[in-house]
Amino acid sequence: MKENNKKALLVLEDGKFFEGYSFGAEGETSGEVVFNTSMMGYQEILTDPSYKGQIVTMTYPLIGNYGVNNEDFESPKPWVEGFIVREYSKVHSNWRAKKSLDEFLKKHEIIGIEGIDTRALTRHIRVQGAMKGVISTTDKDIDNLVKKAKSCPGVIGQDLVKDVSCKKNWSWKKEGTYKVVVIDCGVKYSILREIARFNCKVEVVPARTEAEEIMKFQPDGVIFSNGPGDPSAIPYVVETAKKLIGKLPIFGICLGHQVLGQALGGKTYKLKFGHHGGNHPVKDLRTGKIAITVQNHGFCVDIDSLPEEVEITHINLYDNTLEGIRHKELPLFSVQFHPEASPGPHDATYLFQQFFELITKENQHA
């Protein structure tokens, strides 16, 4: 059936290129090319705001077989700049499916490319590092596409949070014993669902909301959410964190973890090819237990840059990078991985319980 699809090119900034066929929208797109090792969950990946600015490669070879449904969205729309798969399934079958992946990408003008050697692409990225690239169905000039790839902004130094954060306050859940304010740097719906499970009111506010405005909600706890891009490019969120630290329980997730790391005096750096997938082993240094976690980040907090009052709680067993911290005195902790369980395993959902217990403890002392 590929003869009905338009030929497409994926060209990387170092000159490496792959020929394939388009699905979804046609045209041209650019971004940082990364790979995700999850075997399923492509709908959640596509709609995760943390992928803004990136072209995502799925390492699992067959994608699209269960279509797209109305339940597995992590935000209102897809955010990826492009989508790369080995084989797009022309037939989808699932009792919840409402449309095909191809139809979904067309509707949201996301360009996909299939038929390329995703294993070779993944190995190239692992060796050379994540790099910028272009997918095109219109321009077949390799040299020209290399220039376009090199000139695209990428993610380093880019504030992508401003593109994905909500524009005004809104409520996920209006009833509950405690009130949690979520600072939306690109929050996933799964995080909001997990908080709501603990009988909490959930208020979501834009990333640029200042600490004084957040405290007007009289929250029992604050969460700094996941999100896209370079954590050093959002000093306004870090400043908010500095003002809130010590006033109430705080939980940081992914980009939120990097924000809190900076607010406590740490620094961040770019990983060679990032961590993206649902199978990353993380060790809890306090218990010795290993959790298989969902990860999606291209930057990391430098362990050596953190002050004495910060305890290292979690370490990535792939490369020994930082995966979790807590303050030794104040009610604050954060993790680099995603404890909400979609897509991926449920190993880390206990962290929401810990946050709820922290809120309960602080209220008892109040």
Instruction: Return the active site residues.
Output: 254, 338, 340
Q: Which residues contact 145 (CB under 8 A, 6 or more apart)?
A: 9, 11, 17, 134, 136, 139
In whole angstroms, give the CA distance from residue 146 to residue 150: 6
Biggest CA pair distance of the chain = 68
Residue tagged 């834009």 (tokens): 206
Gap between the Cα atoms of 291 and 281, Å rounded: 6
Tell me the CA distances in angstroms from 354 to 195, 329, 339, 344, one per residue in order: 11, 16, 11, 20
- Pairing mode of beta strands 332-335, 322-327: antiparallel
Gap between the Cα atoms of 267 and 300, Å rounded = 9
| Residue of 190, 191, 207 whose CA lies nearest to 241 | 207
In contact, 9 and 148? CB cutoff 8 Å: no
